Amino acid sequence: MNTFKYLVILAVGLISAGAMAQTSHQAGWIQADEQIVAASLNLPSVAPAGRPLQAGMLQTLNVDLAGSEVEAAISNNEVVSVWKFAAPGCGGLTVYYDSFNLDGGASVTVTNGSGTQVLGPYTHQNNPSGGCFATGVVNDDSLIIHYQRPMAAPASSVVVSAISILKPYETDGFGGSGACEVNINCPEGDSWQIQKKGVARLLIKSGSSSYWCTGSLINNTRQDRTPYLLTANHCGKEATTADLNQWIVSFNYETSGCANPAVEPEKTDLTGVEKIAQSIETTTVGSDFYLVKLKQTIPEATGAYFNGWSLSPDASPTGASIHHPQGDIKKVSTYTTPLANSNWNGTPMGTHWQVHWAATTTNHGVTEGGSSGSPLFNNEGLIVGHLTGGQSGCSTPTEADYYGKLSYSWKMSLNAANQLATWLDPDNTGAIKLGGIALGLKDMALNNLFTVSPNPASTYCEITTATDLASTTSQAVVMDITGRTLLTTKLSGETNHIDLSGIKPGVYCLVISNGNLRGSFKLLVQ
């Protein structure tokens, strides 16, 4: 085995010795450990039962790109360091940092070996809380990291702790899913164009390996856009806090048409999650859910959507799952026969929904490794389950898959902190279903410009508009917790009387919009 502790800063060709044995390199490239590369290239394309699909293996490093012991070139009043890494034959590389703190005008850019794929530049705006960070997937078997800072700026902290060496793309990542899969923008996806915006690919770091899974943003009864993301417990149960800080969540990873694209589409990568709740560990009682909260702010430009949910015990007659099989671009699988009450690997009956996928116009979508944790939608477009596993595949399209029931995950644990209800219905409204909500602009954009009183209300409330907006026209919408619109009215002037006499007592969402601005309030009617 070749191991590495030598750093190459190519701008001046400096080789800095470490504590481990010297390794060979050619033309300034650090060569990956041959045994790790060989093991990565031979990873299976099918996940073992109860395990996520392994995407790659990690090579541990300790490369301080901004450390005082590293000499670097000086050009145009900037300090510039360049570091190169190659893992011949692999399908991709991901860089993990145990310290990432950029000061002043410092930046980090990661490219593939030819410079045709660029990640970044990352700046101080990307500095994570806690220091750990990751910079996405380079779809090549080599990469180059560029670190630069103004001469006048203090040295930053940029320490590469590991690189994940991914298995070949033919069986993993972009283009790696089975030929029977159906892209989300094929005709079968026409009815799921809103829900798809909440579904994300997950590149999970756990111990010495990385894994593919799928997750979905999920709404809560406050409708405050808390960035909760639901996936499977078997995807994350072994991840440490440091690992979670380096998960990569990718939104809008999809092709614009129905055919598989020749060139990988763009996506939005966010780094880092916080564990919120998980199902009971033992396989005899768990429903296999894992709820996390994103640590980075979701950009408005993603158009992200917080999917709604249903706790109904009734089996949905039709629906779909949206997922990222093998870590590939977004796919949709469709069912046209009712879900069946079931279990998984010894769990009690009623913990899971059983689903059989249907052949459709384009093909016969199924699930694969990497689909784990993906949402199962009912005929109302609401999440009713999260994928644990099953036997479906392109060679076995009629075999069953099993999704942990959201209704079972709701209050399955005696520990309230590990009940979905605690987080998705924080005010204990007793809702049994909830509609989705778009990311929109931050609620505070309009919440500071309107007041609602009385609240709680009975037969009416008054909305008072700040003077700055009194001369414009706003719109107020009252929705129930399923997202159904009950009342719509225009607002003009400083005070508007809203008649609530036709609305039953309960908890509602009052949404006010003015042009591109949007705000929401919780409205209690007694």
Side-chain half-sphere exposure of 39, counting CA atoms within 13 A? 15
Cis peptide before 338 (omega within 30 of 0): no
Please tell me the distance from the alpha carbon of residue 240 to that of residue 228, in angstroms, as a whole number: 18
Those residues with Cβ within 8 angstroms of residue 408's Cβ, 6 or more apart along the chain or in another chain? 287, 350, 351, 352
Task: Give the end-to-end CA distance of the chain in Å, rounded to a whole number.
Answer: 71
Cα-based angle 426, 432, 433 (whole degrees, multiple of 5): 90
Cα gap 292→306, rounded to integer Å: 13
Question: What is the predicted pLDDT for the residue at 399?
Answer: 97
Relative to beta strand 118-122, strand 53-64 is unpaired
Closest by CA position to 93, among listed 162, 148, 180, 177: 162
What pLDDT does 10 receive? 31
| pLDDT block averages, 10 residues each, the chain of length 526 | 28 26 50 93 83 94 77 77 92 94 91 91 88 92 92 86 87 82 97 95 96 97 94 94 96 95 91 93 72 92 92 97 96 98 91 97 97 97 96 96 95 84 94 88 60 92 82 84 77 91 86 74 86
In single-letter form, the type of residue at position 378 comes to: N
pLDDT for the residue numbered 447:
67
Token digits for 257? 């048409």
∠ Cα 377 380 382 (to 5°): 40
> Distance between CA atoms of 21 and 6, rounded to whole angstroms?
9
Which domains does the chain show, CATH number per domain?
7-171 (2.60.120.290), 187-424 (2.40.10.10), 441-525 (2.60.40.1930)
Smallest CA-to-CA distance from 435 within 371, 349, 508, 326 is with 508
DSSP bridge partners of 354? 340, 402
Of 499, 497, 506, nearest to 524 by C-alpha is 506
CA distances from 76 to 68, 73, 149 (A): 20, 10, 11
Q: Which residues are catalytic?
A: 234, 288, 372
Tokens at residue 128, please? 């994570």
Closest CA to 138 of 161, 124, 119: 119
Cβ–Cβ under 8 Å, residues 258 and 321: no
Query: Global pTM?
Result: 0.80
Cα separation, 328 vs 321, in Å, equals: 15
pLDDT on residue 372 = 96
**Cis peptide preceding 150, ω within 30 of 0:** no
The phi, psi pair for 167, rounded to 5°, reads -70, 165
